Structure 1
Amino acid sequence: MNYKTPVVLAIDLGTTSVKTALYDSSGKMIKLSQREQKLSFPNPGWVEQSLFDTYKLLIECVREIAPGIKVDAIVLSVQRGSTVPISSDGNPLTNLMVWMDERGKPYVEMIEAEITPSYYYQIAAQPIVTITGVSKILWLYHQAKEIYDQAEVIGNQQTIFLKWLGCEDWVIDESVGSFFFPFVIEKKEWSKELAQRLNIPIEKLPRLVKANEVVGYLSKSAAEDLGLAAGIPLIPGGGDGQCAGVGCGATESGIAMVNIGTSTGVQVFLQKPFYDPSEVYNCLAHVIPGAWDLEGNTQASGLAFKWFRDEFSSRNKNVDMDGSYDELVADANR
């Protein structure tokens, strides 16, 4: 089926679900598909996902909504602090270390002692916390050195999924990158100074790209997996938080957004970087060119609701995902 306007396939690789949707050029959603995905907890404080399982769910979602439809571009929205070491042949060397994974906590404390939180914030415009990628990279360097050395690149979901879909390079867009590893936030580039002090070569990180640039084309093998035509342009998209801001219309100065997902984020659109005097809030690159956003986050909100649903809802969550939540809300309002 050919629509009168270009059709974009949007892929959201979320913490607890994979979603795909088709949009026309006006931003109207044509179709939506969603699958829940599991988190695993192999050790206290560790939170992981199988990237191969995520890819299988992606295939299911795309094949459900896109048969016979001409797709003109593919764009991603991803978790931002989630981290994976990747081999030269494109395979993950571990499961995805999900953003809420806290195995890198000792290295947060190391950064605080050796660099100091204030100095770090004045460069990166974000506090030193476990939910970003840097603590996970340091954990690999100090606790899994063989895997670290074997990795050609240490990247994000965005990095490996774009590669699997057909991108020839290892890339990460600025909005994800600014949460993943310390930036010089005003320039939207990796901080060479902090990378050197952390003993992490810049060459170990993906190449930074714009959220809206074409970075490759859907390969023949990926097209066969997804049931699409080969050669569709691949657009990096960006971090789930910044993408949500665009979707909510928080694209002008003074407009804020509250995004309640697995975690809750409060975000404010910025036309220039802002350094929080209390050094608590993140200033990140936006998916919109020439823009930034200011964020505060909680660790778990929707995730806590999901746990409550899994434990106490009488509905089959795999059959009626939304209904199981609606049941709990209705019970709470009685």
Structure 2
Amino acid sequence: MKYVIGVDLGTSAVKVLLVNQHGEVANEVSKEYPLIQEKSGYSEQDPDDWVDQTIAGLSDLVQSFEGDTAEIEGISFSGQMHGLVLLDENHEVLRNAILWNDTRTTKECEEIYERVGKERLLEITKNTALQGLTLPKILWVKNHEPEIFEKARAFVLPKDYVRYQLTKKLHMEYSDAAGTLLLDVNEKKWSSEICRILDIDPQICPQLVGSHDKVGTITSEISKVTGLSSATCVFAGGADNACGAIGSGILKDGKTLISTGTSGVVLSYEANGNKDFGGKVHYFNHAVPDVYYTMGVTLAAGYSLSWFKDTFAKDRDFNELLADVDSVSAGSNGLIFTPYIVGERTPHVDSTIRGSFIGMDASHEVKHFARAVLEGITFSLNDSVEIFRKNGKKIDEVISIGGGAKNESWLQMQADIVNAKVIKLKSEQGPGMGAAMLAAYGNGWFSSLQDCADEFLKVDQIYEPIPSNVKTYQKLYKIYQMVYPSTKELSMKLMEFRD
């Protein structure tokens, strides 16, 4: 039997999957690492924590593997997007990584618009300047930590740094590069124009490769530490959302994905880079060769649920917390939650908006609040679905992955709110499976990623919209949409009282 490893470098943990040539998960290991939040809006991590925990996960995986390690033929990666890792001339880390959910860069986004121009930025990168993307973070370091920026000789994204430490080869692939705001998305090359305008040395941009490209083998040192064969091939991998799309079979037109991790994503396949969404959603290179995907983002999807549990139901696990939500009717007895607890991205690019419960009264119990949180997250995801529909995309079927695919009540709720069939896969591993599929394809096991998906991915269950719930949610969604404009000014005024 042949195997590959998919490494999924998330925000809170790294998950390492061992997958055989039939797509069966033979083993998986998860290792956590801390988040560093020194101030409101700041979010950082120590890149060496990623490396240490990835190596520990690989070591545990190999230790429990009963076959010949030579049968493990390849490793590939999925990684949290947009995070900035600055390296010096020796490829040593200069500071903590600034993560995708860090919102300190509002002024840097304004600087990009002032100097590059919003329309020109959209023409080149197909995306708008958002606090979470990489370029504003580079400018923030340039503006606030010039002594560190002067030492920078390269920047990479989180998974690229881990891959470098396993191979000592430095690269970035297109699906992650597209989220930096420095890539000419259609031309698939770094934008010398943007670098010139913003006084950034283009030499700090690493060599670009394809997601299934072999970039090396693991070093002898890593081989000794983990027990893997030194002949194990390493493939570039992809951005977490691109890998999540591959691992869910989003490989041709008409395919749409809803992913609920820490953040939430609605992602749709695009055969070319010619559509114009006016910057309302992200437009990135796919990890599939020469195609694209569009994506809307809810910044705090699963994070809203974990925040609610940790704050108001710390003694309950998630299964217990959600056990009674089906006893509450659609609409949570007149209670609406907006998941803006760390700001929002789609459709409201707003780092100052904050979440709210609207309609609380003395009759509401924890089960009502829990259902309202699930509904609010799903309403936010539906904002992205509606943008796609208004731009001509037909969405009558979606694949659901992540935390939202682990609860039947939530899956049905997604079908009712989005008003589409929701499909749950038998082996839902999301980005980790996508990374493993890139390694399988890169190793030549299949002639295409679609052939790989046909072998690896199977449908478990389909949730059909319930007409009465659809009707109720369509009314509630209109009310939900009124909350943002009604609370925007209030949230702004409250910012001066935050630590």
- Give the distance between the partners of 2:47 and 2:307, measured in 1 at CA: 22
- Give the distance between the partners of 1:42 and 1:13, measured in 2 at CA: 22
SS in 2 for 1:27: coil
Worse-matched range after superposition: 77-86 or 114-123: 114-123
Q: Does 1:10 align with 2:3?
A: no
The code of the aligned residue for 2:151 comes to: Q
Contact 1:212–1:235 under 8 Å retained in 2: yes
Contact 2:12–2:35 under 8 Å retained in 1: yes
RMSD: 1.7
Q: Does 1:55 align with 2:51?
A: yes
- Give the distance between the partners of 2:3 and 2:245, measured in 1 at CA: 21
- Give the distance between the partners of 1:91 and 1:53, measured in 2 at CA: 14
Contact 1:256–1:268 under 8 Å retained in 2: yes
The code of the aligned residue for 1:205 comes to: C
1:96 corresponding residue in structure 2: 97
Deviation at 1:333, TM superposition (A): 4.1
Instruction: Give the alignment of 1:59-138 within 5 angstroms.
Output: 59-67=55-63, 68=65, 69=67, 70=69, 71-138=72-139
1:321 corresponding residue in structure 2: none
- Give the distance between the partners of 1:119 and 1:179, measured in 2 at CA: 16
Deviation at 1:247, TM superposition (A): 0.8
Deviation at 1:301, TM superposition (A): 0.8
Unaligned runs of 5+ in 2: 328-499
Deviation at 1:114, TM superposition (A): 2.4
Contact 1:181–1:190 under 8 Å retained in 2: no
Worse-matched range after superposition: 32-41 or 235-244: 32-41
SS in 2 for 1:158: helix
Contact 2:51–2:165 under 8 Å retained in 1: no
Shift in alpha-carbon separation, 1:330–1:60, aligned structure 2, 3 A: farther
SS in 1 for 2:323: helix
Q: Does 1:32 align with 2:33?
A: no
Task: State the TM-score, normalized to the length of structure 1.
Answer: 0.91
Task: State the TM-score, normalized to the length of structure 2.
Answer: 0.62
Instruction: Give the alignment of 1:182-193 within 5 angstroms.
Output: 182-193=182-193
Q: Does 1:314 align with 2:315?
A: yes
Deviation at 1:132, TM superposition (A): 1.0
SS in 1 for 2:36: coil
2:323 corresponding residue in structure 1: 330
1:165 corresponding residue in structure 2: 166
The superposition leaves residues 87-123 of structure 1 with CA deviations (integer Å, 9 ceiling, x where unpaired) of: 2333211111111112222110111222222221121
Contact 1:83–1:97 under 8 Å retained in 2: yes
- Give the distance between the partners of 1:225 and 1:254, measured in 2 at CA: 44
Contact 1:174–1:188 under 8 Å retained in 2: yes
- Give the distance between the partners of 2:324 and 2:90, measured in 1 at CA: 51
Unaligned runs of 5+ in 1: 316-323
- Give the distance between the partners of 1:276 and 1:39, measured in 2 at CA: 36
- Give the distance between the partners of 1:164 and 1:252, measured in 2 at CA: 34
Deviation at 1:331, TM superposition (A): 4.5
2:497 corresponding residue in structure 1: none
1:319 corresponding residue in structure 2: none
SS in 2 for 1:326: helix
Instruction: Give the alignment of 1:287-298 within 5 angstroms.
Output: 287-298=287-298
- Give the distance between the partners of 1:254 and 1:327, measured in 2 at CA: 36
Which of 24, 40, 43 is the aligned partner of 2:39? 43
Structure with more helix by fraction: 2
2:222 corresponding residue in structure 1: 222
2:239 corresponding residue in structure 1: 239
Contact 1:214–1:236 under 8 Å retained in 2: yes
Deviation at 1:306, TM superposition (A): 2.3
Shift in alpha-carbon separation, 1:308–1:56, aligned structure 2, 3 A: farther
- Give the distance between the partners of 1:65 and 1:44, measured in 2 at CA: 37
SS in 1 for 2:161: helix
The code of the aligned residue for 2:20 comes to: D
Deviation at 1:208, TM superposition (A): 0.7
Worse-matched range after superposition: 38-47 or 271-280: 271-280
- Give the distance between the partners of 2:261 and 2:218, measured in 1 at CA: 29
Shift in alpha-carbon separation, 1:214–1:127, aligned structure 2, 3 A: same
Contact 2:115–2:198 under 8 Å retained in 1: no
Misfit runs of 4+, over 6 Å: none
Shift in alpha-carbon separation, 1:285–1:43, aligned structure 2, 3 A: same
Worse-matched range after superposition: 93-102 or 298-307: 298-307
The superposition leaves residues 113-156 of structure 1 with CA deviations (integer Å, 9 ceiling, x where unpaired) of: 22222221121101110111000011111111111121220111
2:252 corresponding residue in structure 1: 252
1:20 corresponding residue in structure 2: 16
Instruction: Report % sequence identity.
Output: 24
Q: Does 1:301 align with 2:304?
A: no
Deviation at 1:231, TM superposition (A): 2.9
- Give the distance between the partners of 1:242 and 1:262, measured in 2 at CA: 16
- Give the distance between the partners of 1:178 and 1:215, measured in 2 at CA: 19
SS in 1 for 2:308: helix
The superposition leaves residues 195-234 of structure 1 with CA deviations (integer Å, 9 ceiling, x where unpaired) of: 2112112211111111011111101112233232223111
- Give the distance between the partners of 2:30 and 2:254, measured in 1 at CA: 33
Contact 1:270–1:294 under 8 Å retained in 2: yes
Deviation at 1:305, TM superposition (A): 1.9
- Give the distance between the partners of 1:188 and 1:181, measured in 2 at CA: 12
- Give the distance between the partners of 2:172 and 2:199, measured in 1 at CA: 20
Shift in alpha-carbon separation, 1:326–1:62, aligned structure 2, 3 A: farther
SS in 2 for 1:66: helix
SS in 1 for 2:236: strand
- Give the distance between the partners of 1:132 and 1:281, measured in 2 at CA: 13
- Give the distance between the partners of 1:64 and 1:329, measured in 2 at CA: 32
Contact 1:8–1:73 under 8 Å retained in 2: yes
Contact 2:270–2:293 under 8 Å retained in 1: yes
